[in-house]
Amino acid sequence: MKMRVSWANHLYKIGATKHIIFSGSSVYTGYRESTIMALYGKGLGIPDSVIFEERRAEHSTENIYYGYLVAKSKGFKKIAFATDPFQTNMLRSFIKKYDLPIDLLPVVWQTLSKLEMPTPVIDPSSAKVAGTISLLETQTFFQRLRGTMGKNICWKREDLKKKRYRRRYKDRIED
């Protein structure tokens, strides 16, 4: 998480991005991931006005898609997903498969290793989600794998460009 926030901060500081969407629900702990990252980002000096949160995602593919929906709703013209190279490679095929207009900005380890990466003191209380139960306790390995593959996404009809996907996910389409 620190790596992702530090990379987002770097991309903002060099002008590679104007806005940042932190994505993630309370998946394994009682804290909403997007809110914790937003708090750290603000602690690093990223202006509150450029930070947005997506709070629904439980898996990487959902981070991509639900973050994309936030960007679309804000009228952002260019969208890029920034994370570690491993996750970038894993998600590249998902983006391509569903023809999502999202670029990739993977962490460059050599650049990241030269950055100052302080850990700001934050008050995590606003990220606390009462009654959270870890996915490890509520889903089997195969249910989590299914989520990682994007099989739990509630799609917007216009984002499923191929008819076969509209048929396959007809029970998971929100109008």
- pLDDT, tens digit, 9 for 90 and up, residues 88-121: 999 999 999 999 999 999 999 999 999 989 999 9
Q: What is the pLDDT of residue 175?
A: 76
From CA 157, how far away is CA 174, in angstroms rounded?
7
- Tokens representing 99? 């023809």
18 and 74 in contact (C-beta within 8 Å)? no
- pTM (two decimals): 0.94
Q: Beta-carbon neighbour count of residue 75 at 10 Å?
A: 6
Residue ranges, the chain, pLDDT below 70: none
* pLDDT at 132 (0 to 100): 94
**End-to-end Cα separation, the chain, in angstroms:** 33
Which tokens go with 121? 């003191």
